[in-house]
Chains A and B, each alone.
Chain A
Amino acid sequence: MTGKTDTNIKQTFANIVTDYWIVLVFLGIYLVFVILEPLCLSLPFWGSTFNYMAEILILGVGVMFVVITAGIDLSIGPVEGAVGVAAGLTIRSLLPVVGNGWAIIAGSAVGLLLGLLIGFLNGIVITKLKLAPFIATLGMSVILTGTGYILNNGLEVVGLPRVMGKIGNFTIMGFMGFTTIIALFATVVFGVLLKQTRFGIHTYAYGSNAESAKRAGIDVDKHIIRVYMISSGMAALSGVLLVFRFNTGSPLAGANVTLYAIAACVIGGTSVMGGRGRMIGTFIGALIIAILVTGLVMLGVQTYWQQVSTGLIIIFAVYADQIRQKKALK
Chain B
Amino acid sequence: MGEPILSVSGVYKSFGHVQALKNVSFTLNKGEVLGLVGDNGAGKSTFIKVLSGVHKKDGGSINYEGKEVDFASPKDAIAAGIETVYQDLALAPDLPIYSNMFLGREMVRPGLLGKLGFVDKQAMRDSVLTNITKLKATLNHVEQEVGTLSGGQRQSVAITRAVIWGKKVIIMDEPTAALGVEESAKVLDIVNEIKKHGITVIFISHTIPHVMEVSDRICVLRLGETVADLKTSETSYEEVVQFITGSKTQINRK
Residues in A lying within 8 Å of B, measured CB to CB? 196-199, 201-202, 204-205, 207-209, 211-219, 274-276, 328-329
Known: A205-B92, A205-B103, A216-B103. 4 other contacts (CB 8 A): A201-B106, A208-B93, A213-B92, A219-B75
Question: Which of A198, A209, A329 interacts with B108 by CB under 8 Å?
Answer: A198
Whether A217 pairs with B105 at a CB distance below 8 angstroms is yes
A313 to chain B minimum Cβ distance, whole angstroms, is: 23
State A208–B93 Cα separation when bound (angstroms). Answer: 6
Q: Which of B79, B84, B104, B118 has the most CB of A within 10 A?
A: B104
Whether B78 pairs with A217 at a CB distance below 8 angstroms is yes
Whether A209 pairs with B93 at a CB distance below 8 angstroms is yes
State A191–B90 Cα separation when bound (angstroms). Answer: 27
- 30 inter-chain pairs at a CB distance below 8 angstroms, sorted by A residue, are A196-B119, A197-B119, A198-B106, A198-B108, A198-B117, A198-B119, A201-B103, A201-B106, A202-B104, A204-B99, A205-B92, A205-B95, A205-B103, A208-B94, A209-B90, A209-B92, A209-B93, A211-B90, A212-B92, A213-B104, A215-B74, A215-B90, A216-B74, A216-B78, A217-B78, A217-B104, A217-B105, A218-B75, A218-B103, A275-B95
What chain A residues lie within 8 Å of B147 (beta carbons)? 328-329
- Does B86 touch A at the CB level, under 8 Å? yes
B86 to chain A minimum Cβ distance, whole angstroms, is: 7
Whether A329 pairs with B92 at a CB distance below 8 angstroms is no
What chain B residues lie within 8 Å of A198 (beta carbons)? 106, 108, 117, 119
- Does B52 touch A at the CB level, under 8 Å? yes
**Interface of chain B residues 102 through 116 with chain A (CB within 8 A):** 103-106, 108, 116
A274, closest chain B residue (CB) = B94
What chain B residues lie within 8 Å of A205 (beta carbons)? 92, 95, 99, 103
User: Which 8 interchain pairs have the tightest Cβ spacing?
Assistant: A275-B94, A216-B104, A208-B92, A208-B94, A216-B103, A217-B75, A197-B117, A212-B90
B52 to chain A minimum Cβ distance, whole angstroms, is: 7
**Interface of chain B residues 88 through 146 with chain A (CB within 8 A):** 89-95, 99, 103-106, 108, 116-119, 145
